[in-house]
Structure 1
Amino acid sequence: MTIYLDYNATTPVLPEVADLVYKMMVDEFGNAGSRTHEFGVAAKRAVELARERVANIVGADKTEVIFTSGATESNNIAILGLREFAEANDKKHIITTKIEHKAVLEPVKYLQKRGFDVTYLNADQGGLIDINDFKAALRDETCLVSIMHVNNETGSIQPIGEVCQALASHEAYLHVDAAQSFGKYPYDLDNPRIDLISVSGHKFYAPKGIGALILRRRGFIKPPLIPIYFGGGQEKGLRPGTLAVPLIAGFGLACELAQKNAQKWCEHSAGLKANLMETLKALNAEFIGNPASPYVLNFSVPGVNSEAVMVRLKGIAAVSNGSACTSNSYTPSHVLSSMGLSKEKIAGSIRVSWSHLTTTVPSEDICSAIKELL
């Protein structure tokens, strides 16, 4: 039986989360915007409980949580929503990195085409930015800094704490794409200097199609975002549309379970990673990304192409050679290319990712399958 090892692409929904989603779809199906009867009141109550559970992960207030369809939408609201403020205050400079997800790079590029100046920070071969490069890039007119927490392809963990320190006396808004860390890697995101956090539920055992944007206040002042589309004014006008109550409730429960178990999940996953790395050393495997999340390992074996590896692993393990969001492009990974890796290493790059639900990684079988390609 094939073992699923592509958890960075998506995760299964936990059974208790699925049960709650089903209940909210079939039994308690009210519209949270209906205030004239008990069905609507119950739906509203479920939404607010979920909002509190999301906020608790990062020590935010529940009023700072806006529900979205996922991290892509959250990223777009966070970046494009600042446009009017930036233009009005002549602060049209953005700092981001070359290894961001396309859901950050594309809206940034949109603003760049409309007169914004963008600094794209380089990453080293470990996938990390240089904090001194970041400090040098800061200007008085910098309005937005957007730096992901954990990279989806390499698992590299950016020095968010150091970024926060560098911004201690600067007014720029700090946005963190936390799709790969929220609920799984319980560090850094509780820093009050982070203004905006993008979250995607399906990356940590909630359904697809639900996520959040967390907008931390500075004192009593919230980030000056405006909506990027319009409707009924839900979610304080920033994300209009009928709330997906079942998905929101399930998302909230996933957050509660994650908050209780994240440390244990990390320890279990770190053990799986250590075992796989030790086994792959026999192939002289080269590991990509450091320091990296315990949930993922990106590696290449000299002389072996990733496409051949994935074919050979059919029936053994479901793995990836890049971001699931851009896998149809068949172009070299912009993340790995930006890290300055050789074409051979990029062509051989394999991403293996797992979770606490993974009882074992078939390290010996993976190693044996790759050996047959040498």
Structure 2
Amino acid sequence: MSVYLDFNSSAPIDERVLEYMIGVYRNSYGNADSRTHDFGDSARRIVEDARGRVSSILGAGKDEVFFTSGATESNNIVLQGLKSYALESGKKHIITSAIEHKSVLETAKVMQLDGFEVDFVKPGLNGQVSAEEIISLVRDDTLLVSIMHVNNETGVIQPVKEIGQSLADLNTFFHIDATQSFGKLVDELRDTKYDMLSMSAHKIGGPQGVGALVLRKKQYKRPPVKGIMFGGQQEHGIRPGTIPVPLVAGLGKACQIAEEEYHDNQEKCEKIKCRILDILDESGIDYEINGDQTCSVPGTLNVCFNGVSSEALMLASRQYCGVSNGSACNSSSYSPSFVLTAMGIPIEKIENSIRISWGSSSDPNEVADAFENLVQVAKKLAF
């Protein structure tokens, strides 16, 4: 049976989360915004409990958490939701990186058509952007700096803590896309200064289709983000539409579990990474790691097998494991990874690179066996 090694695309749902959600589906089918009966009250209590779970793991306030369909929507709300304020204030300069998720990159490019100026900062060969370069680009008219915490293709941790500290006293908003770090780098996020944060439940063992946008308050005021859809005042107008109570409940349960277990989870993932690196070293195959492993999360590895086509390798090894060669948002495209391209990696090495990602629920022995088989396949394909 093939072993799943694509957790960065979507992690398997935690059985404890699923069981909790089934109970909500069966017993709490009311609308959380219905005010006239007990069914609505019951649903609302579940939603507010989940809101508290999200705020707890971040050390944020409950009134700073807004539920969305996931990080892609949250990212869109951040960028597009600041348009009115930008027009009023004249601040139409945005700084982001060239390795962000497409929900940031493509939205920023569309905003360029509306007269916004956007700086796309490239990382170094190590996969990390320079905090100093980011800060050096900040101007009086800089509206927003938007940087992901952990890159989804390389696992490299970006210097959001340093950037947040530098921006804390400036009149510029700071947004973190924490899709790959939420529930994992818990202590670092709690200790980082930011105005806005995006996350998705399905990266931490929660259900697909739900996430959150966190809008931190300064002097009792949240960032001037406005909803980009219309049709109701749910979530204070930030995200109208009926709140999917079971999905939100699943997000809350996943946050509860992550807050209780994140230290152990990171240790489990680190042990798996060590085994994978040992297998690579002992195999004798010609390989390189894309991204600096001294500043990388323990559940991701981007490997270049020199002389081995990643497309051929993925197809030839699929009976052993499920891996990818980039972000799921680009899965229909065979163009080279824009992340690795921005890092300055040569095209022939990009075409030989795959991403493997795992989680604390992965069985170390199964992962090791599957990866050993993948390496043997790669040896046969090498030219």
Output the TM-score relative to the length of structure 1.
0.98
Residue 161 of structure 2 contacts residue 193 of structure 2 at CA under 8 Å; is this kept in 1?
A: no
Q: Which amino acid aligns with 1:218?
A: K
Aligned to 1:322: 326
Q: Which whole-Å deviations, capped at 9, do the CAs of 1:230-278 have from their partners, x for residues lacking one? A: 1111000110000000000111000000011111101110111111112
| Alpha-carbon distance change, 107 to 171 in structure 1, aligned in 2, over 3 angstroms | same
Q: Which amino acid aligns with 2:320?
A: I
CA distance in 2, matches of 1:54, 1:15: 19
Aligned to 1:364: 372
CA distance in 1, matches of 2:44, 2:169: 39
Q: Which whole-Å deviations, capped at 9, do the CAs of 1:316-340 have from their partners, x for residues lacking one? A: 1110011111110221111111111
Question: C-alpha displacement at 1:165, in angstroms?
Answer: 2.0
Q: Which whole-Å deviations, capped at 9, do the CAs of 1:18-69 have from their partners, x for residues lacking one? A: 1111111122211101111111101000000000000111100011000000
Question: C-alpha displacement at 1:192, in angstroms?
Answer: 5.5
| Alpha-carbon distance change, 185 to 192 in structure 1, aligned in 2, over 3 angstroms | closer
Q: Which whole-Å deviations, capped at 9, do the CAs of 1:103-143 have from their partners, x for residues lacking one? A: 10111111111101111111011110112211211111111
Q: Which amino acid aligns with 1:316?
A: Y
SS of alignment partner, residue 30 of structure 1:
coil
Give matches, 1:218-233, under 5 Å: 218-233=218-233
Residue 270 of structure 1 contacts residue 295 of structure 1 at CA under 8 Å; is this kept in 2?
A: yes
| Alpha-carbon distance change, 135 to 192 in structure 1, aligned in 2, over 3 angstroms | closer
How well do the aligned residues superpose, as a CA RMSD in angstroms?
1.0
Give matches, 1:278-289, under 5 Å: 278-281=278-281, 282-289=284-291
Give matches, 1:168-183, under 5 Å: 168-183=168-183
CA distance in 1, matches of 2:79, 2:147: 12
Q: Which piece of structure 1 moves more, 157-166 or 186-195?
A: 186-195
Segments of 5+ residues of structure 2 without an aligned counterpart are none
CA distance in 2, matches of 1:63, 1:366: 47
CA distance in 2, matches of 1:20, 1:135: 44
Aligned to 2:272: 272
SS of alignment partner, residue 372 of structure 1:
helix
Question: What is the aligned residue count?
Answer: 374
Aligned to 2:72: 72
Residue 67 of structure 1 contacts residue 210 of structure 1 at CA under 8 Å; is this kept in 2?
A: yes
SS of alignment partner, residue 329 of structure 1:
coil
Question: C-alpha displacement at 1:13, in angstroms?
Answer: 1.0
1:122 maps onto 2:128 in alignment = no
Question: C-alpha displacement at 1:284, in angstroms?
Answer: 2.8
Residue 297 of structure 1 contacts residue 351 of structure 1 at CA under 8 Å; is this kept in 2?
A: yes
SS of alignment partner, residue 94 of structure 1:
strand
Output the TM-score relative to the length of structure 2.
0.96
Give matches, 1:10-159, under 5 Å: 10-159=10-159
Segments of 5+ residues of structure 1 without an aligned counterpart are none
SS of alignment partner, residue 118 of structure 1:
strand
Residue 21 of structure 1 contacts residue 247 of structure 1 at CA under 8 Å; is this kept in 2?
A: yes
Question: C-alpha displacement at 1:17, in angstroms?
Answer: 0.8
Among all aligned residue pairs of Structure 1 and Structure 2, give the percentage whose two residues are the same amino acid. Answer: 45
Q: Which amino acid aligns with 1:307?
A: E
